[in-house]
Amino acid sequence: MPPNILVFSYLNSPWCRFQHKNFGAKADGKSDDTQVSGTETFNDQGSLAWSQNNCAKTGTCNSLPINLAFTSITNSKIQDINIKIGDDSVSLGDGSQQINIENVTCGPRHGISVGSLGKYHDEQPVMGVTVRNYTLTSTTFGVRVKTWPNSPSGVASYLDFEDIVMNNVSTCLLIDQEYCPYAQCNAEVPSRVKISNVSFKNIRGTSATKQAVKIICSRSIPCQNVQISDISLQYNGKDGPITSVCKNVKPSAFGKLNPPACANYN
């Protein structure tokens, strides 16, 4: 029988819970037709947990991540939940295929991520991910696809992000194929994860940073068929007009776009 995780009420994790190794929600292994749904809130008080654990810097993490992290799941749905998480609100790792995420709110901390991908050999493709009706508030990133430099070959394709609301979000739209936290990789060698068929549509709200859209693709395998349409993001800070930046990609642009789509393409 496929997993069916129902969430009701407000899950507010007390500080003492973080001392347990297995706290978190994670699906790791082959699983079909998983559904995570509910009516209320995850709040794991992540800032307290991270202050007690520096594994993100050292690379030695013996406990599960404190977020909703999924790998090797197919034909699955995440819907109707409010997430207040210490890391990515939802993280889709390798092997995630035919995933629908909708009617989710999250913040603060990070947003939603596909990846990171390419850190290990023999990772399975990520394909058919749809994120719709997602609201992010005061997150470090909005929607993000991230792959490691100097990676084995991999695939991430058919990723659709639609009807997303950003409230004071830093770097609202991000493809990052130079993801290398705390210098744990050889950043001089490009990623070999092929990213293709990605769409960002009807993204609106406010950016906390001047650079609201950042699409940095691999110089050895540039992103293919990236579409940006109907983007309305505002930045009212002191650093000047809102901007976007693109590298090793030339996205197709449709509709009204603010910021303009990758005017500085290279």
The tens digit of pLDDT for each residue in 218-227 reads 999 999 999 9
Residue 80 domain flag: yes
Neighbours of 113 (CB within 10 A): 24
Q: Are strands 243-247 and 211-216 parallel, antiparallel or unpaired?
A: parallel
103 within a domain of the structure (yes/no): yes
In a domain, 24, yes or no: no
Vertex 36 angle, CA 32 and 40, to 5°: 180
In the chain, which stretches have pLDDT less than 70? 1-67, 85-86, 263-266
Q: Give the domain extent around 103.
A: 4-16+29-56+63-258
- Can you name the residues that pair with 258 across neighbouring β-strands? 232
Looking at residue 264, what is its pLDDT? 57
Contacts of 125 (CB under 8 A, 6+ apart): 94, 95, 97, 154, 155, 156, 157
**Structural domain includes residue 265:** no
Per-residue confidence (pLDDT) for residue 96, from 0 to 100: 97
What pLDDT, on the 0 to 100 scale, is given for residue 131? 98
Number of domains within the chain: 1
pLDDT in tens, 110-123: 899 999 999 999 99
In a domain, 266, yes or no: no
The yes-or-no answer on residue 121 being catalytic is no
* Catalytically annotated residue among 44, 88, 94, 110: 110
Q: How far apart are CA 72 and CA 70, in angstroms?
A: 7
In a domain, 92, yes or no: yes
CATH number at residue 131: 2.160.20.10
Is 110 known to be catalytic? yes
Name the catalytic one among 44, 87, 88, 94.
Answer: 87
